[in-house]
């Protein structure tokens, strides 16, 4: 089961456990994290999950847990693997550490946080993707994903003969047609597109007269209109809100009504 919203746990440091628990109490069933201590406190996510299990709010089977493998270049000194080991070993060590942090024997999605090079899908990525596929085959994740990818990365991944991802997770800028080319690639191949920074990357959309007009009519906030739009064009949105009220609002966004014309107008907003 893939929920229609993911709660993102980046940048929460010592509040990670409490906010993860609050997100579950608020109704989120999808949690996104990463074994990258620089931006995420994955062990804190695990503490939040454990608290929610203890309180009887959810059980592991109710949840969609997603974490990531991050190359050393994206990490600080707090590495979840031996940097001297080969990449395949690093993937296995990072996964073992994630499962320990999260207190589970498998995650639902395992994502390559970003390819080794912005230029294209490199031999490093080929090795890491093969190692991630092995983790999946061993039952330690149900599905695989890639993040921070261009259309070229995806085309080269597929051309390498490797298995395509189940998820793509990208920052989504309205001024880039809301990542139109990558979304089209995903739609053709039944890859679920996860969009992040939907609010922070698009202040001009939130402030636009169209979005404000819809928000007033629907008695919701502009962020809810943006999340509803994201769902309407087939995205799985992420929110990393730290605010109880915003959690409730974000989860209520599917009930906002948008006409097909409004969806098209927001989609074609060039920012």
Binding site for ligand NAP (CB under 6 A): 8-10, 32, 113, 147-148, 169, 196-200, 221, 223, 238-243, 246, 249-250
**C-alpha dihedral (226, 227, 232, 235), degrees to nearest 10:** 120
Burial status of residue 3 (CB atoms within 10 A of its CB: 0-12, 13-18, 19 or more): middle
What is the Cα–Cα distance from 78 to 35, expressed in whole angstroms?
A: 10
Cβ proximity to ligand NAP, 141 vs 241, nearer residue: 241
The least distance separating ligand NAP from the CB of residue 242, rounded to whole angstroms, comes to 4
Q: Note whether 103 and 50 are within 8 A (CB).
A: yes
Taking the least distance from each CB to ligand NAP, the nearer of 85 and 203 is 203
Nearest residue (beta carbon) to ligand NAP: 8
C-beta of 99 vs 146, nearer to ligand NAP:
146
Which residues are within 8 A (CB) of 117 and not within 5 positions of it... i.e. 6 or more apart? 124
Q: Considering the complex, state which of residue 115 and residue 136 has its C-beta at the smaller distance from ligand NAP.
A: 115
CB of 16 to ligand NAP, least distance (A): 10
Place of tokens 């390559």: 112
Would you say 72 or 89 has its CB closer to ligand NAP?
A: 72
Q: Which is nearer to ligand NAP, 150 or 221 (CB)?
A: 221
> Shortest distance, CB of residue 114 to ligand NAP, whole angstroms?
6
**Residues 6 or more apart in contact with residue 242 via CB below 8 angstroms:** 12, 15, 19
- Residue by residue, DSSP assigns 121-159 as --HHHHHHHHHHHHHHHTTSEEEEEEES--HHHHHHHHH
Distance of CA 3 to the CA centre of its chain: 12
Least separation, in Å, of the C-beta of 184 and ligand NAP? 20
Q: How far is the CB of 35 from ligand NAP (least distance, A)?
A: 13
Shortest distance, position 248 Cβ to ligand NAP, whole Å: 9
């Amino acid at each position: 089961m893939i929920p229609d919203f993911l709660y993102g746990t980046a940048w929460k440091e010592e509040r990670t456990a409490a906010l993860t628990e609050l997100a579950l109490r608020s109704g989120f069933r999808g949690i996104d994290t990463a074994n990258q201590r620089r931006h995420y406190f994955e062990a804190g996510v695990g503490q939040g999950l454990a608290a929610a299990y203890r309180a009887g709010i959810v059980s592991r089977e109710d949840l969609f847990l997603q974490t990531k493998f991050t190359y050393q270049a994206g990490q600080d000194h707090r590495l979840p693997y031996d940097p001297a080991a080969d990449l395949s070993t690093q993937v296995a060590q990072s996964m073992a550490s994630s499962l320990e942090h999260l207190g589970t024997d498998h995650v639902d999605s395992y994502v390559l946080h970003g390819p080794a090079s912005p230029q294209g899908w490199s031999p490093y990525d080929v090795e890491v993707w093969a190692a991630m596929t092995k983790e999946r085959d061993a039952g330690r994740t149900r599905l695989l994903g890639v993040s921070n990818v261009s259309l070229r990365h995806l085309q080269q991944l597929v051309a390498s003969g490797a298995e395509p991802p189940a998820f793509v997770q990208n920052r989504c800028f309205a001024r880039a047609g809301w990542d139109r080319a990558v979304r089209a690639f995903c739609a053709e191949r039944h890859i679920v597109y996860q969009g992040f920074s939907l609010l922070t990357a698009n202040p001009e959309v939130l402030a636009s007269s169209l979005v404000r007009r819809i928000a007033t009519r629907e008695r919701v906030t502009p962020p809810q209109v943006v999340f509803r739009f994201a769902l309407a064009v087939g995205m799985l949105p992420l929110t990393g809100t730290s605010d109880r009220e915003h959690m409730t609002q974000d989860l209520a966004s599917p009930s906002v009504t948008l006409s097909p014309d409004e969806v098209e107008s927001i989609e074609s907003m060039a920012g």
